[in-house]
Chains A and B, each alone.
Chain A
Amino acid sequence: MAACLILIGLLIFSIILGIGLGPVSISFSEVYQVMFHRLSGILTGQVGLVPDIRESTQNIVWFLRAPRVLLGGLIGAALTLSGIGMQAFTKNPLAEPYVLGISSGASFGAVLAMLLGVSVPLLGKLSVSMGAFVGALVSILLVYLLAKSRGSVAPIRLILVGVAVSAMFQAFTNYIVYTAPDDAAVREATFWMLGGLGSAQWEDLPLLLCLTPPAFLLMLALSKSLNAMMMGDSSAITLGVNLTVVRNLLIVVTALLTASSVAVSGCIGFVGLVIPHLIRSVVGPDHRKLVPISTLTGAIFLIWVDVAARMIKPPAELPIGILTAFLGAPLFLWMIRVRRYEF
């Protein structure tokens, strides 16, 4: 409980500091004034500018940085929850959306939507982010379904199937990009493969805002069942867990969280691997602690990685997925080599 309160404080602090930091540095008090003014303006219906701060600064705070930082926090939380969900489902600490090949499904969907203008009944012409969403959803469900054998999913099968499905989508994407008439496809595919929060707008927030908090509550409600599931199927059943229901919920939640994260920000890998692992090594594997503490830490983590992404080579921005992979891939290897996790 105390840890959660401290983390909530840190999160708010990170949001304000994160909005201030960037190629154009903005002071803590200016950020606070603009944010407070705008937010209270939304409540009273009077949107306006703070009198004695430059308009361009205010625009950077409200239209560029604020949605970006908030989106970063939400995606950090969503990817962490999704990682915990997949790890619980597979009973393996190495499972993670990126490892299971979702990124290639998403970039395939995005490129397909952009270049071919695929239309879907009811939805009309597919937008690029919608394409990424559908691509991610299809690939994650495909991986789960193909890995399933006699009602259960063995971790090793899941990871191998992930590799194969990933390679297949990658081949499709490469084909489309290679035969595309202009460079736009290459840029689009690259963005979805590497991820980035640079294009974040307020309109990107509602989808994740509607999904992440309910998903968090659901995972918290399931946490005791998830604990029991870690002791094996027979243990879980005899301790009173309805395995089928919990497993189906996990698939739906992880698929939705991952697909909507990818749809707004591209593939940001390894967050769902690094954060739960780190928190587990501090508080232990009990999901009642792991879920809230990891989710908050994941939000804070991605806000700061995004700050780094825009500070390392200003004014250019690094795709955030490069940085998370730099941090996550070595940890992944370390977990396999040093911790000797069994498949």
Chain B
Amino acid sequence: MITAKEIRYAAGSREILCGVDFQVAEGEFVGLIGPNGSGKSTFLKNLYKVLRPQKGGIILCGEDLLSMSNREMAQHMAVMVQEQEAAFDFTVEEVVMMGRQARKRLLETDSREDWALVGEILDLTGLSSLRKQGFITLSGGEKQRVLIARALAQQTPVLVLDEPTNHLDIKYQLQLMELVRKIGCTVVAAIHDLNLAATYCDRLYAMMDGRIVGDGTPGQLLTPDFLRSLYEVETEILTGRDGAMRIFFYSK
């Protein structure tokens, strides 16, 4: 689905990505982990064309991403971005409807089908009661859910989530991850919470200093030794009631 080869990106003289290789197969849920400043966000921004790599290439759904128009990209890949700004106060349903734009011709209006889809997605994300509310008036967590709803409205085979569980309380963290899992599209997510990553991801990539330093299933990758080298913390790994890994952290 996605193949990134030798991605290099520097901001000024500071090299942030030093040759990142990254691959996601169809239907996979892939997590990207790593300490602050490891380049996770920068890498994702290169993946969704907010930044342009100085070297390397990216193939998305069999096509060259860097020569794709933004519109074509938006038809293949939806992104839940980190920014939560809104210059003017659009309502929740208007923001979610923006997800349909890339499939519209220049002056085409929103169809009955678009509205039905938006209604469905608002139900799915628990936002129905807020649909007429202004986006600006929402809490950080509610905004986050609106942005995931907007990404879902794009109905793309690939979903990229840039720190999706920021601002969310524990209930919505789990709900969001369950939801994304259930939809069953190909997912790439930068995740801080290792327990969430371990529970929901099929495979993980670990980044440090602009490089991929390890990949594998959560069980293979997340060992106390590896986590010590990645985050400089001590860990204890147990198995939860649901059979998933639980990681406990201790400072060194």
Please state if A240 and B75 are interface contacts (CB–CB under 8 Å): yes
> Which of A65-73, A230-238, A248-256 is found at the contact surface with chain B?
A230-238
Complex Cα spacing A281 to B37, Å: 42
Binary flags per residue of A65-94, CB closer than 8 Å to B gives 1, else 0: 000000000000000000000000001110
Which residue of B89, B90, B94, B98 contacts A239 across the interface (Cβ within 8 Å)? B98
Chain A residues contacting B107 (CB-CB under 8 Å) are 220-221
Is A213 part of the binding interface, using a Cβ–Cβ cutoff of 8 Å?
Answer: no
- With beta carbons under 8 angstroms apart, the residue of B45, B86, B91 that contacts A234 is B45
Closest Cβ of chain A: how far from B35's Cβ, in Å? Answer: 23
Q: Is B191 an interface residue (CB 8 A)?
A: no
Residue pair B98, A231 in contact (C-beta under 8 Å): yes
With A239-B101, A286-B94 given, name 4 new contacts (CB 8 A).
Answer: A93-B87, A221-B106, A231-B87, A285-B87
B interface footprint on A81-111 (CB within 8 Å = 1, 0 otherwise): 0000000000111000000000000000000
CA distance A234 to B79 in the complex (A): 9
Please indicate which of the listed interface residues A93, A221, A238, A285 has the most CB atoms of chain B within 10 Å of its own CB.
A238
Per-residue 0/1 for B63-89: is the Cβ within 8 Å of any A Cβ (1 yes, 0 no)?
A: 000000111111101110111111111
In the complex, are the beta carbons of B90 and A227 less than 8 A apart? Answer: yes
Is B89 a contact of A240 with CB atoms below 8 Å? no
A238 interface neighbour in B72, B78, B84, B109, Cβ under 8 Å: B78
Nearest CB of A to B60, in Å: 13
Bound Cα distance A92, B49 (Å):
25
Cβ B98 vs Cβ A91 within 8 A: no
Contact of B95 among A92, A93, A221, A231 (CB under 8 A): A231
Partner of B90 from A225, A233, A243, A285 at Cβ < 8 Å: A285
In the bound complex, residues from chain A placing their C-beta under 8 Å from that of B84 are: 232
Q: Which of A216-275 contact B (CB under 8 A)?
A: 220-221, 224-225, 227-228, 230-235, 237-243
Question: B104 contacts the other chain (Cβ, under 8 Å)?
Answer: yes
Minimal beta-carbon separation of B5 from chain A (angstroms) = 22
Q: Is A91 a contact partner of B83 (Cβ separation < 8 A)?
A: no
CB 8 Å contact bits of B11-44 with A (1 = contact, 0 = none): 0000000000000000000000000000000000
Q: Is A280 an interface residue (CB 8 A)?
A: yes
CB distance from B111 to the nearest CB of A (A): 14
B82 x A234 contact (CB < 8 A): yes
Q: How far is the CB of B45 from chain A (nearest CB, A)?
A: 7
B50 CB within 8 Å of chain A: yes
Q: Is A92 in contact with B75, judged by CB distance below 8 angstroms?
A: no
**Does B233 touch A at the CB level, under 8 Å?**
no
Give Cα A20–Cα B169 distance, bound, in whole angstroms. 65
Query: Within 8 Å of chain B (Cβ to Cβ): is A284?
Result: yes
Contact B101 A240 (CB under 8 A): yes
Residues in A whose Cβ lies below 8 Å from that of B75: 240
Write the A313-334 contact mask toward B (1 if CB under 8 angstroms, else 0): 0000000000000000000000
CB within 8 Å: A-B pair count: 96
Q: Using A234-B81, A284-B91 as known contacts, say yes or no to A224 and B73 having CB atoms under 8 A apart.
A: no
Q: A93-B88, A242-B70, A286-B90 in contact; A234/B83 too (CB < 8 A)?
A: yes
Contact partner of B71 (CB less than 8 A), chosen from A232, A242, A288, is A242
Interface residues on A, range: 20 to 34
Q: Mark A185-228, 1 if CB is under 8 A from B, else 0.
A: 00000000000000000000000000000000000110011011
Contact A240:B91 (CB < 8 A) given known A228-B98, A228-B101: no
Q: How far is the CB of B217 from chain A (nearest CB, A)?
A: 29
Q: How far is the CA of A224 from the CA of B110 in the complex (A)?
A: 11
A242 contacts B69, C-beta separation under 8 Å: yes
B 107-132 contacts with A by CB, 8 A: 107, 109
- How distant is the Cα of A262 from the Cα of B45 in the complex, in angstroms? 42
Contacts of B86 in A (CB 8 A): 230-232
Q: Is the CB of A238 within 8 A of B90?
A: no
B78: min CB distance to chain A, Å: 7
Whether B94 pairs with A238 at a CB distance below 8 angstroms is: no
The distance in angstroms between the C-alpha atoms of A231 and B136, with both chains bound, is 10
Asked, given contacts A234-B83, A286-B94, whether A239 binds B88 with beta carbons under 8 Å apart, the answer is no
Across the two chains, which residue of chain A brings its CB closest to B83?
A: A232
Residue contact B101 to A91, C-beta cutoff 8 Å: no
Residue from B70, B89, B109 in contact with A237 in the complex, judged by beta carbons closer than 8 Å: B70
Give min CB distance, B134 to chain A, whole Å: 9
The residue on B at minimum CB distance from A229 is: B87
Cβ-neighbour of A240 out of B82, B95, B102 (below 8 A): B102
Report the separation of the CA atoms of residues A65 and B79 in the bound assembly, to the nearest whole angstrom: 55
Residue of B nearest to A236 (CB): B70
Query: Does B101 contact A238, Cβ atoms closer than 8 Å?
Result: no
The 18 sampled A-B contact pairs (Cβ below 8 Å) are A224-B98, A230-B86, A231-B95, A232-B84, A233-B50, A234-B50, A234-B81, A234-B82, A235-B83, A238-B78, A239-B99, A239-B101, A239-B150, A240-B70, A240-B71, A241-B101, A284-B89, A288-B109
Chain A nearest CB from B188 CB (Å) reads 13
